[in-house]
Amino acid sequence: MHQFEESVYQLIVETSTQLPGDVRRAVNRGWASENEATRAGLALSTISRNIKMAEEQVSPICQDTGMPTFIVHTPVGANQIKMKRDIAAAVQKATKNGKLRPNSVDSLTGENSGDNLGPGTPVIHFEQWEHEYIDIRLILKGGGCENKNIQYSLPTELEGLGRAGRDLDGIRKCILHAVYQAQGQGCSAGFLGVGIGGDRTTGYELAKKQLFRPVDDVNPVQELDRLEKYIMEAANQLGIGTMGFGGEVTLLGCKVGAANRLPASFFVSVAYNCWAFRRQGVEINPATGEIAKWVYERGSEVSVERKTENAAGEPKEMESSKSREIVLHTPITEEQVRELRVGDVVIIQGEMHTGRDALHKYLMDHDSPVDLNGAVIYHCGPVMLKDEEGWHVKAAGPTTSIREEPYQGDIMKKFGIRAVIGKGGMGPKTLAALKEHGGVYLNAIGGAAQYYAECIKKVNGVDFMEFGIPEAMWHLDVEGFAAIVTMDSHGDSLHAGVEKASLEKLAAFKEPVFK
Apex 380 CA angle, 188 and 346, nearest 5: 75
Q: Looking at 263-322, which runs of residues are DSSP E strands?
A: 267-273, 278-284, 291-294
Query: How far apart (Å, rounded) are the C-alpha atoms in residues 33 and 304?
Result: 9
Indicate if the alpha-carbon torsion angle 495, 149, 114, 136 is positive or negative: negative
The three-state secondary structure class of 87 is: helix
Output phi, psi for 22, to 5 deg. Answer: -65, -35
- Assess contact for 185 and 400: CB atoms under 8 A: yes
Q: Which of 487, 463, 486 is nearest to 475 (CA)?
A: 463
Query: How far apart (Å, rounded) are the C-alpha atoms in residues 498 and 480?
Result: 27
Pick the CATH number of 325-498 from 3.30.1050.10, 3.20.130.10, 3.10.20.30, 3.10.20.340: 3.20.130.10
Please report, as a single letter, which amino acid is at residue 65: T
Q: Which of 329, 330, 331, 358 is nearest to 463 (CA)?
A: 358
CB burial of residue 448 (10 Å; 0-12, 13-18, 19+): buried
Q: What is the pLDDT of residue 303?
A: 52
Chain-centre distance for alpha carbon 130? 36
pTM: 0.93
Domain spans, the chain:
1-140+300-322, 143-273, 325-498
Q: Which of 144, 148, 140, 147 is nearest to 121 (CA)?
A: 140
Query: How far apart (Å, rounded) are the C-alpha atoms in residues 105 and 82?
Result: 25
pLDDT lower than 70: segments of the chain: 300-322
Q: What is the pLDDT of residue 300?
A: 63
Q: What is the pLDDT of residue 312?
A: 46
Q: Please write the tens of the pLDDT for every residue from 28-61.
A: 999 999 988 899 998 999 999 999 999 999 999 9
The three-state secondary structure class of 420 is: strand
Q: What is the pLDDT of residue 449?
A: 97
Q: What is the pLDDT of residue 323?
A: 73
